[in-house]
Amino acid sequence: TLSIDGPGQGESNVRETWVTLDNFERAGSAAIDFLEKRPEIDASRVGLYGWSMGSYWGPRVAAHDPRLKACVGAMGVYLQKDTIFQHGKPAYRANYMYMSNVHDEDAFDEMAARMTLEPLAPKLRCPMLLAMGEFDELCPLEDAERLYGMIPGPKELWVYENETHTLGGRLPDFYLLVADWLRDALDGKLKPGHARKRFFPAR
């Protein structure tokens, strides 16, 4: 497993490598470049797991780099960003303004309006898994349904009944299921035309 601090995250901020509209996919490609040089890595079987804002950044990498063979976008923030930046906790907006080094409110709103996967969805041809809580407070379920409908490649949408953005107590089981899904995707078991929706009842 390779974990990275992408633009605007962790040590990247110390280096003043701020997140922009299009530099996360370049960071993702650089990570794949690194993996390709590792003799113990099968670079033909590279998958990506992104959660929360990673559910937006990860598919961006998948849309731009065909070396990525599977992608999971969990606890989604997929399309419009009004829900998270206008109606969510003020800290979400303040944090992302810091991560992007954009300190003017109007300039940030202009950038946020362009932060959607909609234009890139037709390029998502590797197996894609979208997963979220039924009542995610940062991303309406309708956004996940819309994105799912736009993806041409193999795809699944998982929805957890009564859960919010963090998936709460479902996380231990969720991670195991995601690992199984990634294994199947990287083994080539999700063929073109594969489309599946799963609803996980509350416990």
Cβ proximity of 77 and 56 under 8 Å: yes
The pLDDT assigned to 87 comes to 92
**Residue 158 and residue 72: Cα distance in Å, rounded?**
11
**Residue 41 and residue 32: Cα distance in Å, rounded?**
10
- pLDDT tens for the chain, 203 residues: list them: 999 999 999 999 999 999 999 999 999 999 999 999 999 999 999 999 999 999 999 999 999 999 999 999 999 899 999 999 999 999 999 999 999 999 999 999 999 999 999 999 999 999 999 999 999 999 999 999 999 999 999 999 999 999 999 999 899 999 999 999 999 999 999 999 999 999 999 98
The pLDDT assigned to 17 comes to 97
- What's the chain's length in residues? 203
1: its two tokens: 């497993």
The pLDDT assigned to 151 comes to 98
Helix 90-100 crosses helix 105-113 at what angle (to 10 degrees)?
90
- The whole model's pTM is what? 0.95
> For residue range 82-130, what is the model confidence (pLDDT) as tens digits?
999 999 999 999 999 999 999 999 999 999 999 999 999 999 999 999 9
**Residue 52 and residue 139: Cα distance in Å, rounded?**
9
The pLDDT assigned to 144 comes to 97
Structural domains present in the chain: 11-200 (3.40.50.1820)
The Cβ-side half-sphere exposure at 115, using a 13 Å CA radius, reads 27
Q: What are phi and psi of 196, to 5 degrees?
A: -145, 135
